Amino acid sequence: MESLSAGDPLATAVVSAIHTGHVDTLARLLAEHPGLARTRLRNDSSGEQRTLLHIVTDWPGHFPQGPATVAALVAAGADVNARFGGGAHTETPLHWAASCDDVAVLDALLDAGAEIDADGAVIAGGTPLDDATAFAQWNAARRLVERGADVTMFQAAALGLLDRLEQFLEPATQEDVDEAFWAACHGGQQRAAEVLLSRGARINWIPPWENLTPLDAAHRTGADDLVQWLRDQGGTSA
C-alpha cells in the first residue's frame, strides 16, 4: 500500500501502537500488513502525508519505546530518509526528532542510516541541525554536532563552539557577524557574544525572521547574566 487515510482503522491502530510504545502490537500489524512500514498516512483535508517514522518523531516526541519502535519499522522496510509530503517543507524523520529534542530517537535514526545533513527543513530548507538550533533544542543540536553534522557560523555561535566560530570570522560579512551575534544571544552564549561584539556586531540588530533584538533573544532564553551584560553594552529591546 502506498498511502492510507489517517482516519482508516488500520492507521488509527498503528499510530496508537507507536505513541503508546506497544512494540509487540506494532510488530503484529507490520507482519499482518506487508508494506505497512513504507505506507504514508494521508490527511484527506490538507493532502499532507507522513510516514510511520514521522509518527514516531512527531511533536512532542519522546514516546515510550521510541528507539525500539524505530528499529521495528526499519527492520520491516521503512525508509529512514523518507520525506514529509504535500506541505510547505520536505522534512525527514530526523528533522522532526531534532525539533523535539528527542536524542534517543535521533540516535536510533542515525544508527539506522539517516542522512545527518539532509535538507528540506521548515527553517530555510535546511538541515536537522538548523531545526534544532532555531527551536532551541540544545540537547539534540549538540548530539548532531557530536555525530558529525556540518556546522554553520550561526550554529557555532548559538552553541558556543568558540574554536569553530573563530574559523568563520576571517571571511565573515557584517551580516554574518550580526546573525551570529544574535544566535549567540539566542543560545545564551555570552563568551561567543563577546567575541562577536568585539568583531563589530551591531548590538541591537534585528533579524528579518523574528522581531527580537539580541537582548530580547537572550531574555527569552533565560540567560540573565547575558541579559545584564547586553544592557551594560547598550542593548535594548525591540
Q: Residues 24-53: pLDDT tens digits?
A: 999 999 999 999 999 999 999 999 999 999
Quote the number of domains for the chain: 2
Residue 178: name the closest of 220, 152, 156, 206 by CA: 206
Name the band, by pLDDT with cuts 50, 70 and 90, for residue 2.
Answer: confident
Name the band, by pLDDT with cuts 50, 70 and 90, for residue 1.
Answer: low
Give me the CATH number covering residue 224: 1.25.40.20
- What is the tens place of the pLDDT at every residue in 127-148? 999 999 999 999 999 999 999 9
**Is 190 within a domain?**
yes
**Is 13 within a domain?**
yes
CA 22 centroid distance within chain: 25
User: How far is 10 from 48, CA to CA, in rounded Å?
Assistant: 18
- What is the tens place of the pLDDT at every residue in 51-66? 999 999 999 999 999 9
Mean pLDDT, rounded, of the chain: 97
**Is 238 within a domain?**
no
Residue 184: name the closest of 195, 175, 174, 171 by CA: 195
Are 100 and 169 contained in the same domain?
A: no
Are 102 and 218 contained in the same domain?
A: no
Are 135 and 229 contained in the same domain?
A: no
**Domain containing 197: what range?**
155-233
Is pLDDT at 16 greater than 90 in this prediction? yes
Are 13 and 131 contained in the same domain?
A: yes
Are 117 and 133 contained in the same domain?
A: yes
Are 31 and 121 contained in the same domain?
A: yes
Are 110 and 54 contained in the same domain?
A: yes
Are 137 and 166 contained in the same domain?
A: no
C-beta of residue 181 within 8 angstroms of C-beta of residue 157: yes
Length of the chain: 238
User: Taking residues 86-97, what's their average pLDDT?
Assistant: 94
Hey, CA dihedral for 168, 173, 176, 178, is it positive or negative?
Answer: positive
Question: Using CB atoms within 10 A of its CB, is residue 15 exposed (0-12), middle (13-18) or buried (19+)?
Answer: middle
